[in-house]
């Protein structure tokens, strides 16, 4: 086994620090890329990664499972059980996943997203021991419940993420921290339609994203760290634009979220000790399990 140079070790340490702040799947993927840098070929075994760092990566692994299943089911009507069953390690199949009524272009893009997430899962699992797929709820009902919470009322008819292109892209926005796929993929797709009215609710795409972002801020309980697709110009990048593909601070750096905040949001309960939302039984991994054990 070849050993890393001191400079590469520093890069790896920096990447771990970034993960602890942003937890985006893109950063995790970047981390694994650094592990297998073309400058030096080496293998990282599970026992060579500090446990604290591995614990943080495991939080992100929960999100990667969610993203992979949602995108694969939306595009093809099946998930990891068909595409790569070994990655599930026998974990339960998702609740409520189904094929979405997507146009050919959007379907192709979403399927590519799903396959990218499969690659991310493989990369992470080659770096940390990981765990089996947690029970996930990606049903129309859970998305409808989240949207109702975002608007503070029950929408009629209930919001169905699988109904059409617009609904599916909005649902993709609902899933927080989808990293490269979400921020560089789904958000620009929504930006092109931000003024479009979502039928039959008579509400624009922009209003949907603003409501969803506000809900995430509320659930995260740590102030404003999320913004919709349109913001006042003074809050846009360098105070020059109102479009907002990536929520960021005054220095255009992504707002940090701790594992605790992320769990509050994906559970939909605002409490890292109380599972629900996309994870009916809670997320897996040391950090998530430690909060559940205190409940």
Q: Quick check: 18 pLDDT over 90?
A: no
Q: How confident is the model at residue 254 (pLDDT cuts 50, 70, 90)?
A: low
- Which of these, 161, 41, 26, lies nearest to 106 by C-alpha position? 161
Cis peptide before 157 (omega within 30 of 0): yes
State residue 227's pLDDT score.
58
State residue 53's pLDDT score.
80
State residue 35's pLDDT score.
39
**pTM score:** 0.77
Separation CA 31–CA 19 (nearest Å): 9
User: Tokens 């039959």 sit at which residue?
Assistant: 200
- 197 forms bridges with which residues in the sheet? 204
Most confident of 133-137, 204-208, 213-217: 133-137
Q: What percent of the chain has pLDDT over 70?
A: 66
Q: What percent of the chain has pLDDT over 90?
A: 44
User: Tokens 């054990």 sit at which residue?
Assistant: 293
Least confident of 80-84, 117-121, 275-279: 117-121
Q: 254 — phi, psi (to 5°)? A: -60, 140
Separation CA 24–CA 178 (nearest Å): 6
Q: Quick check: 232 pLDDT over 90?
A: no
**DSSP designation for 182:** I
Asked if 23 and 120 touch (Cβ cutoff 8 Å), the reply is: no
Q: How confident is the model at residue 247 (pLDDT cuts 50, 70, 90)?
A: low
Helices (H) and strands (E) in the chain, counts: 12, 2
State residue 253's pLDDT score.
56
Question: Token pair of 59, please?
Answer: 């939080």
Q: What angle do CA 168, 172, 178 make, to 5 degrees?
A: 160
Say how many C-beta atoms besides its own lie within 10 A of residue 284's C-beta: 22
Least confident of 75-84, 214-223, 257-266: 214-223
Separation CA 148–CA 151 (nearest Å): 5
Q: How confident is the model at residue 180 (pLDDT cuts 50, 70, 90)?
A: very low
Question: Token pair of 263, please?
Answer: 């769990």
Least confident of 109-118, 242-251, 279-288: 242-251
Q: 95 — phi, psi (to 5°)? A: -90, 130
Q: How confident is the model at residue 282 (pLDDT cuts 50, 70, 90)?
A: very high
State residue 161's pLDDT score.
97
Q: Quick check: 41 pLDDT over 50?
A: no
| Residues written for the chain | 295
For all residues of the chain together, what is the average pLDDT?
77
Separation CA 173–CA 7 (nearest Å): 37
Separation CA 242–CA 277 (nearest Å): 31
- Which of these, 177, 70, 173, lies nearest to 118 by C-alpha position? 70
- Which of these, 9, 72, 77, 80, lies nearest to 40 by C-alpha position? 9
Q: Is 211 exposed, middle or buried (0-12, 13-18, 19+ CB in 10 A)?
A: middle
Q: Quick check: 23 pLDDT over 70?
A: no
């Amino acid at each position: 086994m070849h050993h890393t140079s001191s400079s590469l070790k520093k890069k790896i340490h920096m990447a771990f620090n970034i993960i602890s702040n942003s937890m985006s799947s893109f950063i995790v993927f970047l981390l694994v890329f650094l592990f297998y840098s073309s400058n030096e070929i080496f293998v990282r075994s599970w026992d060579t990664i500090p446990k604290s760092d591995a614990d943080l990566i495991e939080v992100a692994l929960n999100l990667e499972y969610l993203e992979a299943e949602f995108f694969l089911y939306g595009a093809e009507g099946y998930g990891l059980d068909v595409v790569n069953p070994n990655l599930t390690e026998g974990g339960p199949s998702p609740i409520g996943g189904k094929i979405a009524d997507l146009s050919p272009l959007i379907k192709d893009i979403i399927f590519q997203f799903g396959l990218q997430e499969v690659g991310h899962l493989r990369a992470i699992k080659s770096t940390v021991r990981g765990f089996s797929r947690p029970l996930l709820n990606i049903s129309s009902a859970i998305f409808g419940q989240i949207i109702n919470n975002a608007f503070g009322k029950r929408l009629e008819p209930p919001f169905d993420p699988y109904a059409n292109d617009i609904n599916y892209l909005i649902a993709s926005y609902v899933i927080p921290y989808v990293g490269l796929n979400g921020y560089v993929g789904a958000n620009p797709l929504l930006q092109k339609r931000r003024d479009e009215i979502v039928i039959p609710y008579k509400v624009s795409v922009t209003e949907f994203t603003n409501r969803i972002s506000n809900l995430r801020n509320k659930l995260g309980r740590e102030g404003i760290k999320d913004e919709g697709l349109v913001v006042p110009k003074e809050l846009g990048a360098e105070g020059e634009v109102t479009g907002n593909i990536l929520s960021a601070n005054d220095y255009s750096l992504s707002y940090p979220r701790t594992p605790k905040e992320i769990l509050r949001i994906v559970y939909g309960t605002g409490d890292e000790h109380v599972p629900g939302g996309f994870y009916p039984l809670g997320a897996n991994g040391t950090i998530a399990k430690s909060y559940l054990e205190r409940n």
